[in-house]
Amino acid sequence: MLKMNNISKLYQTEMVQTHALRDFNLHVDEGEFIAVTGPSGSGKTTFLNIAGMLEPFSSGEYLLDGIDVGKLNDNQRADCRNQKIGFIFQGFNLIPDLNLYENIEVPLRYRGIKASERKRRIEQCLEQVGLASRAKHLPQQLSGGQQQRVAIARALAGEPRFLLADEPTGNLDSLMARQVMELLEQINRDGATIIMVTHDPELARRAPRNIQVVDGQLADFTLYQGAQNLKNVAGA
């Protein structure tokens, strides 16, 4: 499903070069649920950006669904994001001027889906996250947890095969975080591949596969191994 071979990302400023990622290798199979952890500044977000084609990489090879991402132009990358990937952001990133319905509609419009089909999908997704009655509300009228559920609905509406979640519970209290997590697990069971960046060890433990990014390189923990280490890292 997702293959990264020797991916490197170099940030260059006038004075210094920073390696955000160095010879990063990762293989993800269809249907996996992976939690990515690591200390802040370790390159988690860079990894997520590259995986989501939000940022170009400096060298290496990245294949998504067999497509060589490095060879795509900007429009192709946009289309690819639109069709294959669903994003869930830490800050929810709902568009404040649009109501819930319109927010979820955004990616569908970019895909050029017909209005009737859009309506069906949006209603279904709102149903799925339990906010069907609030379609006309503006984001600021909702609580954080509700907003994140809208964001998840927006990610799901495009029926992506691949879901990228960036600290999806970072701005939520533990109860809501648990609800969101359950929702993600449900989505995973329905067949979507999920990569979730988090610094919450408890959440990470619930994912079947954990990987850790340290200094732009990958430390892979399969299943629950190394939970103790993780705790130390998280505390650091």
Partner 1 sequence: MLEIKPIFHALCRSKVGAILLLIQIAITTAIVSNAAFIIQDRVAFLNQDTGYPEHDIFKFNVMTFGQDVDINQQIELDETMLRSLPEVIDAAMSSSIPLSGGGSASDFSLKPAPQEGLSVRTAYFFIDDHGINTYGVNLVMGRNFSEDEVLVTNNVDKRPSVTIVSQTLLNELFPKGNGLGQTIYFGETPLKVIGVVEKMMSPWLKDSRPDNLAFIPYINAKSLAQFVVRTKPDQRDAVMKEVENLMLKNYSKRVINNIKGLDELKNQYVAADKLMMRMLIVLITILVLVTALGIFGLTLFNISKRTKQIGTRRALGARKSAIIYYFLVENAMICGVGLILGCIAALLLGQLLMQHFSIAALPPSYIAGTAIMVFVMSLLAVFGPAKRAANISPSIATRTI
Regarding 62 and contact with partner 1 (CB under 8 A), the answer is no
Which of these segments, 17-25, 29-37, 104-112, 187-195, binds partner 1 (CB under 8 A)?
104-112
Three-state DSSP class for residue 52: coil
Regarding 116 and contact with partner 1 (CB under 8 A), the answer is no
180 touches 130 (CB < 8 A): no
Regarding 110 and contact with partner 1 (CB under 8 A), the answer is yes
**75 versus 116: smaller Cβ distance to partner 1:** 75
**Interface residue with partner 1, options 112, 133, 175, 235 (CB under 8 A):** 112
Binding residues with partner 1: total (CB under 8 A): 36
**Residue 36 buriedness (CB in 10 A; 0-12 / 13-18 / 19+):** buried
**Residue 97 buriedness (CB in 10 A; 0-12 / 13-18 / 19+):** exposed
Regarding 147 and contact with partner 1 (CB under 8 A), the answer is no
**Interface residue with partner 1, options 6, 8, 58, 83 (CB under 8 A):** 83
Regarding 113 and contact with partner 1 (CB under 8 A), the answer is no
**Which residues in the chain belong to E strands, given as ranges?**
2-12, 17-28, 33-37, 59-64, 67-68, 85-88, 162-166, 193-197, 209-214, 217-222
Three-state DSSP class for residue 232: helix
**Interface residue with partner 1, options 21, 34, 37, 52 (CB under 8 A):** 52
The two tokens of residue 214 are 């340290």
Q: Which residues of the chain form contacts with partner 1 (CB under 8 A)?
A: 45, 48-49, 52-55, 74-75, 78-79, 81-83, 87, 89-91, 93, 95-99, 102, 105-107, 109-112, 138, 154, 158, 166
